[in-house]
Amino acid sequence: MKALMFGWEFPPHILGGLGTASYGLTKGMAQQEDLELTFVMPKPSGDEDQSFLKIIGANTVPVVWKDVNWDQVNNKIGRFMHPDEYFWLREGIKYDYRRIHTNELGCIDFSGKYPDNLIEEISNYEAVGSVLAHRLDFDVIHSHDWLTYPTGAFAKQISGKPLVIHVHATDFDRSRGKVNPTVYSIEKRGMDAADHIMTVSNLTRRTVIEKYHQPPHKVSTVHNAVEPLEDADSFVKEPRKDKIVTFLGRITMQKGPEYYVEAAARVLAKTKNVRFVMAGSGDMMEAMIDLAAQRGIADRFHFPGFLRGRDVHNMLAQSDVYIMPSVSEPFGISPLEAMQVGTPSIISYQSGCAEILTHVVKTDYWDIDAMADAIYGIVTYPAKYQSMRELGLEEVNNIKWYDAGLKVRAIYDKVIAGR
């Protein structure tokens, strides 16, 4: 079976959980020997792991015919795509996209990020999808998150192949209910066009059914997992006097950073031997710095910025507690990553991973007192810390992307059989 996937980001260069989930799921699915995956993304960096799938950069796919020679193509995109493939794909241009600004090869220069003209890039991505849909051989289309739903729907219209969309989040999660009508419209049209909808949690499944008016039989939950950490033993906690509590993620209203700061103030009212870290970046960062100062705890608070790669696991390993107080978290992979390096986690009931994790502390995102009590208990009582550390490690090591991949494959089989 061949699956054509449309995504937006892929490790090692990621801006959020979407890239991490895309990598883990595709790697888990690739263990099925009869499954061939092609993953399209706006702008690869060239250092992505392609040992288990093929990556196509949308910025190397011609959408406007240009009279160029082999050497011109090779000089421009040779490190990403063989020139012969470029010329082969050029035969798939069936529509007039001259309204779109393209480069000398007739390709679109995508940013590969989330720019101010994101809606324009989403629209331009459809043009790339149309060329690929005319030229590639595939059995099913799989679109990751709202950014790629229009492309997936267009590819379905062209090819007649079934479309599965993967809801990693909705705008209800990102906006605390203050939904952007343009984004909602893109999400709703994508869901309506899909043959089946996969959500990363039952929490998100309910949102899709209730807020986007999708029939329950069309929506299935496929919980996320975590990529095995082969060198977990290499992350050793350094001895120190103070305990460390860490929040790691986008510093935005969806993640509930203000509740974390308020809980920290309550903990520090009872003990001074704790330091708090808020790692990440986002539109609420300055406000959180100000809030920590207002609560008189700025000297115990640290803002290291956005962390990547090994720095993430090292920060988690040095922590005594990891906390994710999200207001609305479709899943949330970071607590699993913390548990992999033996760090106890506190998560909100309003997170999808709360549905599958047992050996964590769960509180409501707004219950600052419960959050503070949980932090205090873990940093104060060694037996509690050690129990959560050991049981958490055992639990997380049994949550595998391979199992998630089997569920996705069953959905593929179902939609193909239903055509």
**CATH code of the domain made up of 2-225+401-417:** 3.40.50.2000
Give pLDDT, residue 295.
97
Q: Mean pLDDT over all residues of the chain?
A: 95
Identify the residue with better confidence: 390 or 15. Answer: 390
Residues in the chain: 419
Give pLDDT, residue 356.
97
Q: pLDDT confidence of 236, banded at 50, 70, 90?
A: confident
Q: pLDDT confidence of 308, banded at 50, 70, 90?
A: confident
Query: What is the rounded end-to-end Cα distance, in angstroms, of the chain?
Result: 15
Nearest Cα to Cα of residue 329 among 402, 218, 250: 250
Residue 218 half-sphere exposure, CB side, CA atoms within 13 Å?
19
Note whether 2-225+401-417 and 232-396 share their fold. Answer: yes
Q: Which residues of 105-114 are buried (b: 16+ CB within 10 A; e: fewer)?
A: bbbbebebee
Cα–Cα distances in Å, from 32 out to 142, 400, 418?
17, 14, 22
The percent of residues in the chain predicted with pLDDT above 70, rounded, is 100
Give pLDDT, residue 234.
85
Nearest Cα to Cα of residue 333 among 223, 177, 185: 223
Ordered by start, the domain boundaries in the chain are: 2-225+401-417, 232-396
Fold exhibited by the domain 232-396? Rossmann fold (3.40.50)
Residue linked to tokens 């999660």: 173
> Coil, helix or strand for 190?
helix
Amino acid at 312: V
Give pLDDT, residue 83.
97
For residue range 309-359, what is the model confidence (pLDDT) as tens digits?
Answer: 889 999 999 999 999 999 999 999 999 999 999 999 999 999 999 999 999
Q: Is the pLDDT of residue 286 over 80?
A: yes
For residue range 189-229, what is the model confidence (pLDDT) as tens digits?
Answer: 999 999 999 999 999 999 999 999 999 999 999 999 998 88
Nearest Cα to Cα of residue 195 among 213, 219, 170, 169: 219
Mean pLDDT value of segment 370-396: 97
User: Residue 418 is inside which H or E element, if any?
Assistant: none
0.85 exceeded by pTM: yes
